[in-house]
Amino acid sequence: MAKQKVTIIGAGNVGATTAQRIFDKGYADVVLIDILEGIPQGKSLDILESGPVVGSDSKIIGDNNYESSKNSDVIVITAGIARKPGMSRDDLLLTNMKIVGEVTKNVCSYSPNAILIVVSNPLDAMVQHAHKISKFPKQRVLGMAGILDTARFKSFLADELNVSVNSISAYVLGGHGDTMVPVIKSTTVGGVPISDLIPSKRLEEIVQRTRDGGAEIVGFLKTGSAYYAPSASIVQMVESILFDKKEILPCAAFLEGEYDINGLFVGVPIKIGKSGVEEIVTIELSSSEQKALKNSADSVKELTEIMYKND
Ligand code: APR
């Protein structure tokens, strides 16, 4: 039986690492596309040649054209420029809007039934734009950010409390930026509310480190932004789709009234399966968290207004 097919646009740090992670597991064939000649071909060949060692029989090819992506089950868009020190994700807006628009048009024409995962930043605005350009139904377009922000939050909490990351239950919602909303009310460690375990001042510091998590990495790397945790987060979404796992994960999804937000992509818990967004899950928020989520949605709205001011 033919394996399912995942196409990744952008063979840079995030795209190539995602390709490698999926290839290593061997459950899907991978197509890696980039505008730079030779880069997707060279990286794909290198990954392919690791097959006998890691035990993967997946196929992986690199290309500068989109035809090889035909009939993909899942498309991941990572094309664009990444942040340099001192840049916010929003500084990337108009450059990445152009890139994401162009690649979405190309890739979706070859795979009209695929599920589209957008990763390029600023995430919430880029997924909004990809949705518009693809003309795909809202269920088949989603953005990766909440899993990453949540993973950062959980990593810091696990470190603070010296417990396994697997014992922590948490969600970071909202836009992928300074206004993201770690939901303290539903954060538990082994079922115990986090506010019983960490004093509120220290918790606030951990929340702030989570908000600055991307910038902390950019500060170290200097020439680019994070890609190991982002690619792991993408793969969790891809697997929930390909294996119809129906995991409930925080992702950017198009809201039409849920959480009192309308017509915008914002990070919320969703049930993710073979049809994409199968349900938007409503969790209880405190009134300050609800306010923070609304505030986060307003910042996403501001970016979409900049993108479409000449429409
Ligand atoms: N078509 C295809 N690929 C493109 C295009 C395009 N029009 N424009 C740029 N690219 C490619 C670049 O050639 C590069 O190989 O996108 C790739 C981006 O890779 P990196 O610069 O390594 O950036 P990366 O760290 O992978 O981040 C990609 O994900 O997390 C976000 O903020 C990040 O928006 C950024 C994106």
CATH classification of the domain holding 135: 3.40.50.720
Asked if 200 and 238 sit in the same domain, the reply is yes
- Contact by Cβ (8 Å): 249, 147: yes
Asked if 187 and 41 sit in the same domain, the reply is no
Asked if 151 and 289 sit in the same domain, the reply is yes
Indicate whether residue 35 lines ligand 1 (CB < 6 A): yes
Indicate whether residue 66 lines ligand 1 (CB < 6 A): no
For residue 182, whether the previous peptide bond is cis, meaning omega lies within 30 degrees of 0, is no
Rg of the chain taking only CA atoms, in angstroms? 19
Closest CA to 234 of 2, 9, 3, 4: 9
Asked if 278 and 162 sit in the same domain, the reply is yes
Catalytic position from the list 43, 129, 152, 176: 176
Asked if 101 and 214 sit in the same domain, the reply is no
pLDDT at 225: 92
Indicate whether residue 36 lines ligand 1 (CB < 6 A): yes
pLDDT at 178: 86
Tell me the whole-structure pTM to 2 decimals.
Answer: 0.97
pLDDT at 239: 98
Asked if 88 and 225 sit in the same domain, the reply is no
Backbone angles phi, psi at 155, to 5 degrees: -60, -45
Asked if 123 and 202 sit in the same domain, the reply is no
pLDDT at 84: 79
Asked if 175 and 229 sit in the same domain, the reply is yes
CA of 182 to the centre of ligand 1 (A): 27
Closest CA to 230 of 18, 77, 3: 18
Decide if 129 is catalytic: no
- Tens-digit pLDDT string for the chain (311 aa): 789 999 999 999 999 999 999 999 999 999 999 999 999 999 999 999 999 999 999 999 999 999 999 999 999 999 999 887 888 888 889 999 999 999 999 999 999 999 999 999 999 999 999 999 999 999 999 999 999 999 999 999 999 999 999 999 999 999 988 889 999 989 999 999 999 999 999 999 999 999 999 999 999 999 999 999 999 999 999 999 999 999 999 999 999 999 999 999 999 999 999 999 999 999 999 999 999 999 999 999 999 999 998 77
pLDDT at 1: 74
Asked if 257 and 159 sit in the same domain, the reply is yes
Q: Which of 97, 122, 143 is the last residue of a domain?
A: 143
Buried b (16+ CB within 10 A) or exposed e, 208-231: eebbebbbebbeebeeebbbebbb
Asked if 101 and 188 sit in the same domain, the reply is no
Closest CA to 146 of 307, 259, 33: 259
- Count of domains for the chain: 2
Chain-centroid distance of CA 73 in Å reads 17
Closest CA to 97 of 125, 76, 73: 125
Indicate whether residue 104 lines ligand 1 (CB < 6 A): no
Count other C-beta atoms under 10 Å from residue 61's C-beta: 16
CATH classification of the domain holding 243: 3.90.110.10
174 Cβ partners below 8 Å, 6+ apart?
180, 181, 266, 267, 292, 293, 296, 297
In this structure, what DSSP letter does residue 122 have?
Answer: S
Q: Which of 143, 164, 196 is the last residue of a domain?
A: 143
CA of 252 to the centre of ligand 1 (A): 19
In this structure, what DSSP letter does residue 59 have?
Answer: -
Q: Which of 110, 143, 176 is the last residue of a domain?
A: 143
pLDDT at 35: 97
CA of 119 to the centre of ligand 1 (A): 10
- Domain limits at 205? 146-307
Asked if 135 and 185 sit in the same domain, the reply is no
Could you give the angle at the alpha carbon of 148 between the alpha carbons of 146 and 150, nearest 5°? 65
CA distance 134 to 293: 27
- Contact by Cβ (8 Å): 277, 142: yes
Asked if 99 and 154 sit in the same domain, the reply is no
